[in-house]
Copies of this chain bind each other. A is one copy, B any other.
């Protein structure tokens, strides 16, 4: 897929331009949301021609999500200390904290945009959701092996129960992403899945 083809013919893509576009897009995104990250505006801000952006990103959403990941390329480590409640709380609290900042609004808009842009949905699922869910699933599996939680669980459903409330509040805004949220959610889920 990305095997080093050796030097391809033609002028190579300018890394300078790639970065300028991503930075400009991230800036606009944070300043004024997705609406402000129009191709036109990003091109102007980055000092780059529109065509160049269109050559590399198929849509505003695709660019926005690249810019988002570029700006918020987080470590995304998931410690496995053996204390399931603590590990899950830590991980989810980190998500809550991130979403409380500007990144939350941007992510909410990206999810919103994905409703009318299937490609964007794909990217979101594969680059954002999937890694987090895989890490979480691993932790849960090990907890099951340790006998801490039941073994007959549908992990996908469990993870929905863990993550959904965060995204739900983010998207609907009916309640804040408060400090205790992560803890409460994890507690509620564990109450249901713990071995008795």
Q: Chain A: residues with CB nearer than 8 A to chain B?
A: 33-35, 105, 108-109, 111-116, 121, 124-125, 129, 133, 154, 156-158, 160-161, 163-165, 167-169, 171-175, 184-185, 188-193
Closest Cβ of chain B: how far from A88's Cβ, in Å? Answer: 14
- Give 21 A-B contacts (CB < 8 Å), ordered by A residue: A34-B116, A111-B112, A112-B112, A112-B113, A125-B172, A154-B184, A156-B175, A157-B165, A160-B165, A160-B175, A161-B165, A164-B168, A167-B172, A168-B168, A188-B189, A188-B192, A188-B193, A189-B192, A190-B192, A191-B193, A192-B192
Report how many copies the assembly holds.
Answer: 4
Sorted from nearest, which 6 A-B pairs have the closest CB atoms? A112-B112, A192-B192, A164-B168, A164-B164, A191-B192, A112-B115
